[in-house]
Every structure is written in C-alpha cells, then in structure tokens.
Amino acid sequence: MTLCIDGHEFQYEIENLCRVFFPDQKIEAVQNPEEADVFTGIAPCSGGVRVHVSVRLNGERKNADEMIPAREADPHEQERRMSVLLYGLLSQARGFYPQWGILTGVRPVKLFSRLAERMGENEAARYFEQKLLVSKEKTELCRMTSRNQQEILSIPQARSFSLYIAVPFCPTRCAYCSFVSTSVEKTFRLIPDYVNLLCKELRHTAEIAAQLGLVCDSVYVGGGTPTTLSAPQLKQVLDTVRNHFDLSACRELTVEAGRPDTVTQEKLDALRQGGTTRISINPQTLNDQVLRAIGRAHTTEQTLEAFSLARKCGFNNINMDLIVGLPKDSEDSFQRTLNGVVGLNPESITIHTLALKRASRLSLDPAGPYSGDAQTAQNMLGYADQNLLASGYSPYYLYRQSRMVGNLENTGWAKPGFKGYYNIFIMEEKETILACGAGAVTKLYTPAPNRLERIFNFKYPYEYINRFSEMMTRKDRVKEFYGSVSD
C-alpha cells in the first residue's frame, strides 16, 4: 500500500497503525496525495490546525477531517486525533476493530500506570477507552496487570539490578522465529568457546557490580534455548554466577528450558544444583499437527514427560508458554491446549500472540506470507483470559510486539506468590539489567533523574567470540554511568 505524509512528523506512528490493518503489505511512501492509498495531513487554519485523513480501498475514497483549536494543538494531541480519524476509516473499510484501538506501543501497562499516577485509575481507564479507543476488556486487563505489579515494582532501589544471561542456541529454528539464535546442527562447534567466554564476561560483570555496590534482585537465563547446552556446560555457567555474584538478596533464578525435547534428568539436576528456582517449559501448543507446522521437533507427549520429570526433580515453580494464532491451529484446538496446560497446574502460564517477523520462514514462504486470522486470535485470547482468571491465575506482566496477529498482546499469568520478578523488571524498565552473552542488551536505569541507557553486545555468536575483547570494553560504561549519578 502507498502512504502520503503531509505537514507532520508522525510517519512512524501512522505506518504502524496502517500495518495493524494490512500486516502482510509493504508500505511505500509517495509524494502525490492522489497516488496514495492512505493520506494524512495537517495544515494551519483559522484558530488552530486542521487534520485531514483520506483512505482509498477497492477504488473508493473515504475522507475525514477535524479542526483542533490552537490551545489543544500540541504535537501529541495532533497525532492522537489523526490516529483516531485513520482508525475509524480503516476499521470501517476492513470490518475489523482492533481491541487496542490506536495503541501500537510495546508497553501499554507502563502508559496506564503513568496515567493512573497522574489522574487516578478510573480516569486512566476512561482515557484508554475514550481517547485511545482501547476496548473495555483490554483496558481492564491493563488495570489488573498494573495493580498486580505494584508490590514487585516497589522492590528495586537505586543500586538494584537483575542479571540476564543469553544462550542464543536452539536445536532447530521455529518457523515463526527471527531471533538471533542459531541451531545447534550448524554451530555446535561454537558452543564450548561461547560458554567459556560467557563465563569470562560474567566474572567481569560481577567485579563491576561488586565495585559499584550493586544488589542483585533476580537472574534470568534466556535464549534461544539454554537447555541446548549440556549438563556440564549449564553447571559451568550457573557455578560462575553463584561463585562470583552476591546472590544473598536474589529472589529468583530462572532458566528457560523452553524446548521439551532438550529436558533431561541430568540437565534438571544441574539446574537444581546450580540454584535455579524457576524454569519455563514451553510447549506453544499441545497439538502435534501444529507443532509440525511451526518446525518444533518435539511432541505433546514429550511436553508432558518433561513437565512430570521437572516435578519429580523438585521444581515447584514452572512456567509454560503458549502461542495464539499459529498456522494449522483452530479455536477448538487452542481451547484443548489451554485446558490441558491448566490441568497440569503450573505456577504460571504465558500466553503469546504470534508475531509475524519479516525474517521468519512463515513470512518468507514462497507460497505467500502467513498473516494469521485476527478474529480467531482475538477469540483465543478471550478464552484464555476468562479461563485463567477462573482457574486462579492473575495477569502480572504484559507487552506487545510489532506485527502481532490482530495487534494483540503477550500476557504473563501467575498464581499468587509466583509472579516472575525479572519479567516485570524488564518490561516496566524500573531497574538496571546487566546483560551478558551474544545479542544481550544491558539497560542502565536510575530513578533520579528518570534515566535509561543501553549497552549492546554483538548479536551473533561468531561475532561475540571473534570480537570479545572489544565488546568487554563496553562494560566500562556501566562504571561511567553510575559515576555520573548520585543515589
């Protein structure tokens, strides 16, 4: 589709909103309004500015405009009203009314919480529904999530941090994945060197944390699939963490054992002995046909076996991930999956919406990109929300990604006392994250002033290995950051 921007600087936001309605179309900017499928413009007028939106679909052009008085015409309000006009035209033309309205950002709960602090919960909810066109259901989901986060968000202090450890290897690459992770069959030879250097980076990071008097609240080992590593390699990483970081105040050590086919007795024992308190076993679905369609090498039976084995090994805090909107899945199939997972009684369940990544096999399929069905995904999420609440789970963190089916969301649900600390800290950006490994991003945070700075590691394992010394010097920025702020 073609897009014309005239008289404003909101192209990024307008493109994102158009993509909600046309997820599988490339958006091309044009100069001539007559050539544009979508035109958005702002022009001065007597007493303020006029916002004009025009949409051409199936040969028919629809228009909408609004005059904004000068006293209200700040850039944020101009962008909001333009988005509301565009949402109205596109939703009418497509017959689809996305539940998040004009919101396209990653952290709606963070926005809701900020509004609630300023104007109170009820006014924040009213703003979401009336000004941002968010549905009552999603507004209430934000309200519940915001409330459930407050106790944990009160934990971080000026010198608190969480540790993230990246293990960017997987047994195979899923059809929906574009993460910087590498399948083992192609890079098995890199893993020993990677693990050794990762441990070296962890030791260096621990020295910096100790010098600065930083206090560790949580540790998260993610990927990729960390349990792609052998049991001795997992032990090596976890022993490095325990021997070099002060974990006396650490409330949680999570390891993603994401692929059920990588879970073994030996690896679970290594995780337990290494101090792991929480693991994630991620089936994505309990439908074997869907598993084959997305390139997962495991079966439903292996998921059930891995979960049972983890329980026998003493893990009493297990998360399970599911995805709505997968190819070959249906509402009935998803309901059976959710009911099956709830029946296992894990301490937390995370419901993801499929994100249509450009570099994934689903998007690059020669037969045409997979775009999913927005209404079906919306119905699946509605079923999940209703049944998880009824089963004693509460939403505790929520985030969104670009190009998600139906412009929906990912939500973490937990039983009382089992919220994931790291998940809240990383999503709400209220604590420093010291990150180690390929593709990891350190986020340095200080509450006074409210400041966030990022340090990027090299993305790919071979870069991480070949340019390790160069990357290590970047960690010195952590000391510079804390040297420039006062508690």
- String of DSSP letters for 252-309: EEEEE---GGG--HHHHHHHHHTT--EEE---B-S-HHHHHHTT----HHHHHHHHHH
Average pLDDT over residues 80-87: 98
Same-domain pairing of 299 and 372: yes
299 closest CA partner among 284, 309, 310:
284
Same-domain pairing of 117 and 252: no
For 69, the domain range is: 2-94
pLDDT for residue 344 is more than 90: yes
- pLDDT digits over 376-398, tens only? 999 999 999 999 999 999 999 99
Same-domain pairing of 119 and 30: no
C-alpha dihedral sign at 278, 284, 289, 291: negative
pLDDT for residue 182 is more than 60: no
Same-domain pairing of 116 and 141: yes
pLDDT for residue 280 is more than 60: yes
Alpha helices in 373-415 (DSSP H): 374-390
Would 170 be classed as within a structural domain? Answer: yes
Q: How far apart are CA 86 and CA 483, in angstroms?
A: 47
Same-domain pairing of 169 and 213: yes
pLDDT for residue 272 is more than 70: yes
pLDDT for the residue numbered 176: 85
Would 422 be classed as within a structural domain? Answer: yes
111, 80 contact by CB (below 8 A): no
pLDDT for residue 445 is more than 60: yes
Same-domain pairing of 55 and 190: no
- Please report the DSSP string for 319-375 in residue order: EEEEEES-TT--HHHHHHHHHHHHHH--SEEEEEEPB--TTSHHHH-TT------HH
Q: How far apart are CA 156 and CA 424, in angstroms?
A: 11
pLDDT for residue 142 is more than 90: yes
Q: How far apart are CA 87 and CA 93, in angstroms?
A: 10
Q: Tally Cβ neighbours within 10 Å of residue 57.
A: 17
Most confident of 28-37, 92-101, 204-213: 204-213
- pLDDT digits over 28-79, tens only? 999 999 999 999 999 999 999 999 999 998 889 999 999 999 999 899 999 9
Residues linked to residue 162 through DSSP beta bridges, in sequence order: 218, 433
pLDDT for the residue numbered 486: 62
Average pLDDT of the chain to the nearest whole number: 94
Would 470 be classed as within a structural domain? Answer: yes
Residues linked to residue 321 through DSSP beta bridges, in sequence order: 350
Residue 125's pLDDT band, with cuts at 50, 70 and 90, is: very high
Same-domain pairing of 290 and 409: yes
289 closest CA partner among 321, 330, 261:
330
Average pLDDT over residues 172-177: 83
360, 394 contact by CB (below 8 A): no
Q: Tally Cβ neighbours within 10 Å of residue 17.
A: 23
Same-domain pairing of 117 and 90: no
Alpha helices in 22-135 (DSSP H): 75-94, 108-119, 121-130
Would 103 be classed as within a structural domain? Answer: no
pLDDT for residue 466 is more than 80: yes
pLDDT for the residue numbered 114: 95
User: Which has more pLDDT, 110 or 487?
Assistant: 110
pLDDT for the residue numbered 370: 86
Would 371 be classed as within a structural domain? Answer: yes
Q: Tally Cβ neighbours within 10 Å of residue 145.
A: 24
Would 302 be classed as within a structural domain? Answer: yes
Cα separations in angstroms, 236 against 2, 162, 190, 232, 351? 53, 20, 16, 6, 32
Same-domain pairing of 72 and 85: yes
pLDDT for the residue numbered 174: 86
267, 234 contact by CB (below 8 A): yes
User: Which has more pLDDT, 458 or 180?
Assistant: 458
Same-domain pairing of 232 and 352: yes
pLDDT for residue 166 is more than 60: yes
Mapped onto helix, strand or coil, the DSSP state of residue 30 is coil
pLDDT for residue 180 is more than 70: no
75, 64 contact by CB (below 8 A): no
Look up residue 445 and give its two tokens: 């945070």
355, 436 contact by CB (below 8 A): no
Residue 183's pLDDT band, with cuts at 50, 70 and 90, is: low
Would 479 be classed as within a structural domain? Answer: no
State the amino acid at position 116 in one-letter form: A
Look up residue 12 and give its two tokens: 């990024």
pLDDT for residue 181 is more than 80: no
pLDDT for the residue numbered 457: 96
180: left (phi > 0), else alpha (psi -120 to 50), else beta? Answer: beta
The 8-class DSSP code of residue 459 comes to S
Same-domain pairing of 136 and 261: no
Same-domain pairing of 24 and 59: yes
Look up residue 432 and give its two tokens: 């420093």
State the amino acid at position 160 in one-letter form: S
Count of domains in the chain?
3
278 closest CA partner among 246, 310, 304, 322:
310
CATH number for position 57: 3.30.160.100
Would 102 be classed as within a structural domain? Answer: no
Look up residue 478 and give its two tokens: 């952590």
Angle between helical axes of 136-153 and 421-428 (0-180°, round to 10): 110
Residue 297's pLDDT band, with cuts at 50, 70 and 90, is: confident
CATH number for position 387: 3.80.30.20
